[in-house]
A and B are shown apart, each in its own frame.
Chain A
Amino acid sequence: MKRNIVMSALLVIFLFPSLGFIKPSSPLSTAPIHKSVVWGFNCKTWYDENSQTFLYTFNTYSTAQNTSSIIRQHGYTVDIQKNPTKLDIIRSSFDGAEIFFYIGHGAPTALALSDENCKFVGFSKDTLSKVNTSNLRFVLLSACETGKDTNDPNGILRAFKDTGATKVIGFNRSMNALAIKQWSEKFWKYAFQDDMEVSDAAHRATNEMAQNGIYSNVLGWNTDSLVILGTDPLYLGYKPSFPDFSQGWELFLQDLWNNIQTQVQQFANQLLEKFNAWWADEWSKIQKSITEWLQDEFSKWLEQFIKELEKIISQTCFQPVSMLFIFAGVLAYQKRHRH
C-alpha cells in the first residue's frame, strides 16, 4: 500500500507537468511559455484568380516541420501553419508569438501565401497591422526580395521591424527554393547554440552553404544576400532562470511550475530526437549489411554455379564417349516411351 502510494506520487510528479505540454490551454498549465510561429506552404503549383498556372515552386512545408522540431526542443511552443490565409487564423497564430519564421514566396512589399486551393493570397503591411505583434522579438522571412528596399515605407521587412521586433532577417534578391530551404535548416540549427547571436547564426549558415560551392563564384548571390535589421544583439536560446522568491510564494511556485514544465518538455523532445537519430542510423546500417550480405552471398553462389556448370560442360559435351552415351540414353528413352 505504501509502495503504491510512493510510486503513484512519483508518477504524478514526473507526468503531471507534461500535461501542460500536451494541452497548453488546459487549466493545469500556465503555458504558453514561449511561443513561435512557423509558416510554410505545400503547393507545388500556384494558380491565379483565373485558375491559370501562376508559378512553379517547391513545397516548403517539410522545411517548416523540420525547423519546428528544432525550435520546440529549445523551450518554445510552435504554431505551425500551412496556407494560413484567413484573418482569424492569422490573428490567433500571431497572438503572443515571440518568433515568426516564414519560408515561402515573397516580394518586396508582401509575402505570398496560398489558400487551400493553392490560389495566391498576399500578406502585406496592411494585413500585419491587423494582428497583435506586441511580443515579437525575431522574424525570419526566407523568401525572395523581402529585404530588397528597406527604405520603402511599404516594404514587408521594414513593416515587421516596425512592430518592435529586436531583429528581422530577409533577403535582397530572388532566392532559389532548395538553397533557401537548406540555408533555413542550417540557420535554425545554429540559432539556439550557446552564445550564438542570431546574426552570427545567419552568417554561419551562409558560410556552411558556401562549402558546397554552388554559388561560390558569385558575390552577393542567393544566401549571401542577407538583410538584417536591428542592431541590438539577440539570443534565442531560452534557459529558465531560478524562480525569484522575493516576489512572494505564489509567484515563486508559479515560476517553479513553469520551469519544471519547460525542462520536462525540452528533455522529452531532446530524448525523442536523439532516439530517432540513433535508430535511423542503426536501421540504415542494418539495411546496408543485409544488402551487402545478400549481394555477397548471391555473387558467391553464382560464381560457384558457373564454375560447376563449366566443369560439367567441359567434362561431358566435349568428350565424344560421353556424347555417345548421352545420345544413346536419349534414344532409349524415346523408344521406351513410344511403346
Chain B
Amino acid sequence: MTKRQNPNSNYYVSARPKQQKRPFGCLVRVLIAIFVIGAIYFWVTYKPSGRAIDLSPAIANFTGEPNMQIIQTGSEQTAYGSITQYSGKLSNGDTAYFDVDSKGNLKGFFRGNQPSSDVLISIEQARKIALDFASAHYPDSSWLQSVQINENLTGTNGSSNRFYTFMWVNQDPNSGAYLPQTLKIEINAQTGQVDSYLAVNEPVTISTVPAINQEKATEIAFKTLPSTPEFKVAEISLLVTTVPIYENNGQQALVWRITLVAKPDETGYVTGATIFVNAQTGEVLLIDPFV
C-alpha cells in the first residue's frame, strides 16, 4: 500500500484505494442500450393481435361468424364521428375489413383481394343479391322501397375492376333534399359476392326547407367564378350534409351543391368548380375548383 503525505499535517493519509475494475460494466450498458432501442422499436411497430373475445357484436351479426378472428387496425374520423376499423379472415378465407362507429353500428364492409375483371352475372342477378343483402343488414330499410335505386356497372370504359354498384339515397318528400341516409352495395360481377357495403344512417336534426331557392343559389354560385370562360350548370342538388365541408365531426346543415363547368379548350382541359351554398343564409361555404 502506498501512502502520500498531507502537507498540512504530520499524519499520513491513506492513499485513495485503487479503483477496482467492474468487469461487466460496459457489457451491461450495451445490453441496456439494446433493450432500450428494442423497446422503442416495438413501441413504434407493434400491432395488436386479434382475439375472438374482442369481436365487435356488430361484426359478428353482420358476418354470422361469431368465432371470427379480427384485429383492430385503426380508427378514422368522419363527418359524423369516429369509426373504428377492423380486419379479419372470413370462413372462406377472404380478407374482410369492417368499419364500426362509436355506437357499435357497422358502417362499412369491404372484401379484399377479389378477382373482378370479368362479368359473369347479369345486372338482374346482382340487383336481387343487393336487395336481399340490404333488407337483411341495413338498420332501417323501411325507406329503401320508396326510393329509386341508382345502378351502374363499373369498368365499361376499360377499367379492370368490374362491379355492379347499387345506391339508395333517402330524400325529403317535400323539399327533395338528400338526407344522410344512404346505402351503397357493390356486387362483384365475376364472383357474384357482396364485396362492399357502405351504410350511412344519421338522424336529421335541422330543417330541410331551404330559405334560399335553387335559382338564387345558382345566381350566388355564378358570382363566385369569373365571367369568362362561360360556365354552365352541370349539376345542382340540395342535401343535408355537415359543415365545414369535407371536414370531420361537423354540424349538420342544409346545403346547395352546384357544379359549374366550362367547355373544354382545344387541348381538352376542363375548367369548372363545385360551389357549396348554405341553403338558409346564402353564404358561400366552399368553392372547390376542378383540379
Contacts and interface: CB of A to CB of B under 8 A. Distances in A.
- The size bracket of the interface on B is 35 or more
B291 A199 contact: no
A177 B288 contact: yes
Contact of A271 (B40, B113, B152): B40
Contacts of A165: none
Interface of A: 2-3, 6, 10, 14, 53, 55-58, 60, 103-110, 112, 122, 142-145, 147-151, 172, 174-182, 193, 195-197, 199-200, 203-204, 207-208, 210-214, 216-221, 224, 226-231, 233, 267, 270-271, 274
16 contacts: A3-B25, A53-B226, A107-B267, A109-B267, A148-B157, A149-B158, A150-B157, A175-B290, A176-B274, A207-B108, A207-B198, A208-B78, A211-B78, A211-B80, A226-B159, A274-B43
Contact of B160 (A55, A179, A216, A229): A229
B191 interface: no
Nearest to A120: B269
Interface string B77-107: 0111001000000000001010100000001
B110 interface: yes
Contacts, number: 189
B270 interface: yes
Interface-centre pick from B45, B76, B267 (highest chain A CB count, 10 A):
B267
B272 to A, nearest CB: 6
A3 B112 CA distance: 53
Given A3-B26, A176-B291, A204 B110 contact: yes
Interface-centre pick from B83, B99, B161, B248 (highest chain A CB count, 10 A):
B161
B159 A212 contact: no
Interface of B: 25-26, 30, 33, 37, 40-41, 43-45, 73, 76, 78-80, 83, 95, 97, 99, 107-108, 110, 112-113, 117, 150-152, 154, 157-161, 165, 167, 169, 178, 180, 182, 184, 196, 198, 200, 226, 235, 237, 239, 241-242, 245-246, 248, 257, 261, 264, 267-274, 286, 288-291
B26 A174 contact: no
Contact of B289 (A3, A56, A203): A56
Contact of A178 (B76, B198, B246): B246
Given A57-B290, A196-B112, A207-B198, A218 B159 contact: no
Nearest to B241: A213
A39 to B, nearest CB: 13
